[in-house]
Amino acid sequence: MRKQFLLNIFFLILLNVLIKPFWVLGIDRTIQNEVGSAEYGWYFSLFGFSFLFNSLLDLGVTNFSSWSISRNPSFVRLGFEKLARLKLVLGVLYVVVTVLVALIFEYDQKSILLLFGLCINQFLLSYILFQRSVLAGLQIFWLDSIFSIMDKLLVIVGCSYLLWFSGISIFEIEWLVYVQLLSYIGTGVILLLINFMKKKSQMDSPGAKLAFAELLQKSYPFAVIILFMTFYYRIDAFMIERMLEDGATQAGYYAQSFRLFDVLNNFIFLITGILFPMLTKSFFENKDTSMLTSMVLRLLLFPAVILLPLTILKGGELMKLLYSAPFISSNQLLVLFCIALIGLGLTSVYGTALTAKGELMKMIKITGVGFGINLTLNGLLIPYYGIIAAAATSAFTQVFIGLLMYRTVIRLKIGLNQINWMFKYLAVFALLTISAFGIKSFQLSNYFLLLFLPMFILSGLYLLRSEVTSLKKIRFN
């Protein structure tokens, strides 16, 4: 199982390393520099707002589809078709509710029009993810990996033309929404044709025949989990824009640092997209999953060991390199987002394990706590401490919820107790972080970095040595 995971994740990461960093650092960053922080902050806050009711758009049917097909491939024949029709109805409901709430918050006409376009794109993207759940559920991960980057590749082509080859001197932020719209439509049509062929190849099964009411009953817990997680991941930009006097500009500054955090989150999301159906199938077949979850956890947490010390040392210089007008305290935001990355790694592995095991009510309670903590702290702190408070709240929420999910997994005996490895991880993490602060505080020469960098390599080998050993034992036939 670990061999299958490693092969698929290598192919997935290879494709996404070629595409998504260029999108975030090449296209998206350039667009913000072109339109300015205030204009991009306006777009970014509306983009975050379009996520808030995303659970209405899906109601958990994507995860339920992947979960069901992993357990019973025949679900593609009938159950999936009903879910596809349900998704269309939910799409209309989502757009109507999101726009109505925006009107209640008294957004102007220009904002409503842009939000409507973002909502349509959210629906199309959600439908693409739903169609990809067939490929993931059938364990066709190589094809799912290709479609994980196809829409972004098309957006890159379209935006690159408008930015650099069209001869147009001024880029309008609305054009980004239009390019995404066309790209999502093209990707969705191709996926529909492929899934139609996959559907014809499956036999009917009694387990695949579910009524609409039963489908909703089984999928709604997934929707509640996604709702809570989306709120405590995306609501900060909306609250910044609404609660601060120069909210749009501040949201734009927040987006500068959040963008780098979101790049890593996208990779984590891709990895868990493979992990979820694999764990679901393994739990259904009563196979041991503890070694797989242990390996994935180490792979996801390791980047924070490198990124936080480097951010402390060179984060400010990186932001000046990336942006024409960076936020003066952007380095502090990056440090907080690196801490949030630790919690996100814990949440992704242990939350995925709990969901795949079917412990949905426990996941609802845990993510509900995360939503409550995030909303309360942001509401109390943002008016006084601004976007630094939002980043600190995100870091605290992610780490706290990650540890809570870990505790739940251990109590239910779903995975291995990682306490010994975590102590080693925290010791190495603390050593490198303190060393970075020392070099920064005493303004030591960059020559110290030449001594400091090998510590990263040795730390990585120390934390991942068991995985390096296991890789040597794998024969890729």
Q: How far apart are CA 180 and CA 121, in angstroms?
A: 7
Average pLDDT, the chain: 79
Task: Output the CA angle 275-64-136, nearest 5 degrees.
Answer: 40
What is the spatial distance between Cα 322 and Cα 335, in angstroms, rounded to a whole number? Answer: 17
**Residue 324 phi, psi (nearest 5):** -75, -25
The C-alpha atoms of residue 142 and residue 4 are separated, in whole angstroms, by 11
Q: pLDDT class for 392, splitting at 50, 70, 90?
A: very high
How far is residue 225 CA from its own chain's centroid? Answer: 14
Q: How large a percentage of the chain has pLDDT more than 70?
A: 82
Residue 9 has pLDDT above 90, yes or no: no
The enclosing H or E element of 155 equals helix 141-160
Rounded distance, CA 325 to CA 317, Å?
Answer: 12
Closest-CA residue to 81 (of 70, 68, 94): 68
Q: Which residues 6+ apart lie within 8 Å of 254 measured at CB?
A: 41, 44, 236, 237, 240, 327, 333, 387, 390, 391
Average pLDDT over residues 335-341: 88
Longest dimension (CA), the chain: 70
| Burial degree of 291 (CB within 10 A; 0-12, 13-18, 19+) | middle
Q: What is the pLDDT of residues 405-445, one digit of tens each?
A: 998 988 887 766 667 777 777 777 777 777 777 777 666 55
Determine the pLDDT at residue 269. 77
Q: Specify the pLDDT at position 151.
A: 87
Confidence (pLDDT) at 331: 78
423, with CB counted inside 10 A (0-12, 13-18, 19+), is exposed
Contact 19, 149 (CB under 8 A): yes
Phi-psi map region of 49: left, alpha, beta (phi>0 left; psi -120 to 50 alpha) = alpha
**Digit-coded pLDDT (tens) for 82-93:** 777 788 888 899
Q: Is a pLDDT exceeding 80 seen at residue 190?
A: yes
Measured CA to CA, the distance from residue 453 to residue 437 in angstroms comes to 14
Q: DSSP 3-state assignment of 264?
A: helix
Q: What is the pLDDT of residues 252-304, one digit of tens each?
A: 888 888 877 777 777 787 788 778 778 877 887 788 777 778 778 877 887 77
For residue 341, the one-letter residue type is L
Residues 6+ apart with CB under 8 A from 246: none
Question: Cα separation of 288 and 279, whole Å?
Answer: 9
Residue with more model confidence, 6 or 102: 102
* Residues 397-408 pLDDT 10s: 999 999 999 989
Task: Please indicate whether residue 416 or residue 13 has the higher confidence score (pLDDT).
Answer: 13
Q: Do 435 and 306 form a contact (C-beta atoms < 8 A)?
A: no
CA-to-CA distance for 380 and 384, rounded, in angstroms? 8
Task: Indicate if the pLDDT at residue 215 is higher than 70.
Answer: no
Closest CA to 174 of 56, 34, 54: 34
Taking a C-beta distance cutoff of 8 angstroms, is the pair 128, 147 a contact? yes
Q: pLDDT band at residue 5, thresholds of 50, 70 and 90? A: low
Report residue 171's pLDDT band, with 50, 70 and 90 as the boundaries: confident
197: amino acid identity, one letter: M
Structure tokens at 140: 């066709």
Q: What gap in Å lies between CA 2 and CA 332, rounded to an integer?
A: 37
Least confidently predicted of 75-79, 159-163, 350-354, 400-404: 75-79
Mean predicted confidence (pLDDT) in 209-238 = 72
CB 76 within 8 A of CB 199: yes
Q: For residue range 94-150, what is the model confidence (pLDDT) as tens digits?
A: 999 999 998 988 888 889 999 999 999 999 998 888 888 777 777 777 787 788 888
Residue 371, C-beta contacts closer than 8 angstroms, at least 6 positions apart:
228, 229, 231, 232
* Mean pLDDT on 366-381: 93
CB atoms under 10 Å from CB of 42, counted, come to 22
